[in-house]
């Protein structure tokens, strides 16, 4: 587990109802540096006071404290609600301090979504996304990284950790598998979370793989961490697929504080590959910093030198306007030609989910990154992640994959060995051709 040094550690009193949860928490606490306040217990009635204390103890600006500021973010141990219910808690909300929210109440009291459907077809069509419809699992909310573009990474006041993992595997995983018989691979991703950063003390991945093996399914972890040595002792790791969100060194250092350096992520993937775990990469979000061409060319070369990935994907940072991006990241760090292009296209990109950079800027970046991979690896499947239909139409030949059925990083039907297990339940991605869309014909 990361050598966390949280400024506060809280536990919901209901954790003590199950010795398995207590044992798990004690293992995790044993790997942390506890604050002077120690482990503090709280009840449901005391939630407003806990939130007030967390606000006083932690500021989002602390993620920039070197070298590992985000590792000081508070940790809250809780009991996860496995049905996904989210009560309004009016009596608690009316007593919250200024800046407190119902979302924080939900996390403290374990209302962390056990599963979420992602990229359902109608939603992707509306947003002009291309991806694969899937359902993901989560047992925690929050992360020990401080990525500036991530609301959880930069701005959350604590990480909420669900401890009732055995119950999760008995109740949630079989339920979701039954709901989605065509889905062969499932992410354990949490919500703004990085599960393997908490292992092996947390123990969620080992139990997850055991459960997946019983149901003949495969599981992904999705990480910006390099914490993988513990996997050598995990049973059923033949059911595991490792996905890294990676970047170049300057972005890792300046924009993703607390995460693994770019080269360490690649080396961690190489270690997993030696263990027999398939590895895949997403350069997501790709952030065009000054000198980005040289830096990304270097890390791509190292990626292809050290590993034989099952796929490599790209996604230029999106989900923003140029103004909202400026509120998250110092734009002086970025390629100023592209910043100006985003400003010039601000009106055009208003409300466009792939903003702030216009299509031609993103396409130029993708072509360059593809060329760099192909210098070293002619065979690895390439893709663009959560990009627009128009971008796929332009990039299909360069990528060498069809948008309707491409092998990516975390597709629900992407079996180890670069095998797509499409079926009547999941026959293709969310791509659809222009003539199939009356709204855009």
pLDDT in tens, 125-136: 999 999 999 999
Q: What are the boundaries of each domain within the chain?
A: 9-436
pLDDT digits over 162-205, tens only?
999 999 999 999 999 999 999 999 999 999 999 999 999 999 99
Q: What is the mean pLDDT of residues 401-412?
A: 97
pLDDT in tens, 234-264: 999 999 999 999 999 999 999 999 998 999 9
- For the segment 21-50, the average pLDDT, to the nearest whole number, is 98
Predicted pLDDT at 151? 86
Q: Cis bond leading into 134, ω under 30°?
A: no
Establish whether the linkage from the previous residue to 199 is cis, with ω within 30° of 0: no
pLDDT of residue 143: 94
For Cα atoms 225, 229, 235, give the angle at the middle one, nearest 5 degrees.
110
Is the confidence at residue 293, as pLDDT, over 60? yes
- What pLDDT is attached to residue 153? 87
Compute the distance between CA of residue 157 and CA of residue 155 in angstroms, rounded to an integer: 6
Rama region for 386: left / alpha / beta (φ>0; ψ in -120 to 50; rest): left
One-character DSSP codes across 74-104: -EEEE---TT------HHHHTTPPTT--HHH
pLDDT, average across residues 282-303: 98
Which segments of 97-223 are extended strands (E)?
Answer: 115-118, 134-137, 140-141, 159-162, 185-188, 218-223
Residue 437 has pLDDT above 60, yes or no: no
What are the Cα distances from residue 92, in Å, to 40, 43, 95, 107?
19, 12, 5, 13
CATH of domain 9-436: 3.80.30.30
CB-based contacts of 336: which residues, under 8 Å, 6+ apart? Answer: 290
The predicted pLDDT at position 432 comes to 87
* pLDDT of 441: 43
Number of H helices, E strands in the chain: 16, 15
pLDDT digits (tens, 9 = 90+) for 333-379: 999 999 999 999 999 999 999 999 999 999 999 999 999 999 999 99
Closest Cα partner for 184 from 132, 223, 230, 232?
132
pLDDT of residue 436: 60
Average pLDDT, the chain: 96
Kindly give the pairing relationship between strand 159-162 and strand 140-141.
antiparallel
Section 314-331 average pLDDT: 96
Q: Is 70 exceeded by the pLDDT of residue 286?
A: yes
Q: How many CA atoms lie within 13 A of 235 on its CB side?
A: 6
Report pLDDT for 41: 98
* More confident: 175 or 438: 175
């Amino acid at each position: 587990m990361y050598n966390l040094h949280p400024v506060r550690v809280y536990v919901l009193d209901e954790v003590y109802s199950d010795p398995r949860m207590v044992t798990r928490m004690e293992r995790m606490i044993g790997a942390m540096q506890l604050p002077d306040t120690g482990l503090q217990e709280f009840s449901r009635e005391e939630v407003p006071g806990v939130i007030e204390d967390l606000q006083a103890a932690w500021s989002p600006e602390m993620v920039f404290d070197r070298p590992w500021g985000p590792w000081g973010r508070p940790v809250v141990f809780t009991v996860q609600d496995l049905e996904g219910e989210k009560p309004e808690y009016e009596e608690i909300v009316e007593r919250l301090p200024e800046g407190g929210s119902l979302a924080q109440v939900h996390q403290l009291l374990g209302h962390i979504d056990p599963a979420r459907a992602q990229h359902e077809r109608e939603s992707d069509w509306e947003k002009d996304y291309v991806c694969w419809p899937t359902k993901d699992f989560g047992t925690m909310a929050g992360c020990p990284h401080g990525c500036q573009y991530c609301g959880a990474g930069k701005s959350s006041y604590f990480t909420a950790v669900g401890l009732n993992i055995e119950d999760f595997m008995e109740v949630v995983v079989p339920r979701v598998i039954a709901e989605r018989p065509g889905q062969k691979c499932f992410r354990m991703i949490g919500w703004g979370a990085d599960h393997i950063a908490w292992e092996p003390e947390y123990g969620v991945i080992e139990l997850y793989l055991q459960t997946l093996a019983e149901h003949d399914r495969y599981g992904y972890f999705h990480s910006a961490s390099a914490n993988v040595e513990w996997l050598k002792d995990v049973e059923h790791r033949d059911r595991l697929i490792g996905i890294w969100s990676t970047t170049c060194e300057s972005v890792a250092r300046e924009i993703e504080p607390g995460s693994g350096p770019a080269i360490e992520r690649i080396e961690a993937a190489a270690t997993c590959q030696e263990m027999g775990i398939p590895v895949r990469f997403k350069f997501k979000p790709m952030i065009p910093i000054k000198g980005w061409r040289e830096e990304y060319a270097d890390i791509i070369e190292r990626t292809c030198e050290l590993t034989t990935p099952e796929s490599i994907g790209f996604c230029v940072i999106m989900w923003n306007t140029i103004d909202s991006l400026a509120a998250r990241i110092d734009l002086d760090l970025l390629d100023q030609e592209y910043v100006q292009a985003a400003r010039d296209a601000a009106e055009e990109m208003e409300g466009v989910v792939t903003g702030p950079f216009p299509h031609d800027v993103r396409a130029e970046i993708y072509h360059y990154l593809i060329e760099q991979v192909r210098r070293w690896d002619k065979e690895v499947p390439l893709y663009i992640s959560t990009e627009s239909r128009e971008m796929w139409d332009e990039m299909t030949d360069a990528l060498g994959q069809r948008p309707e059925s491409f092998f990516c990083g975390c597709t629900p039907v992407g079996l180890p060995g670069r095998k797509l297990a499409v079926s009547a339940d999941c026959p293709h991605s969310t791509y659809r051709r222009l003539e199939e869309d009356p709204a855009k014909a």
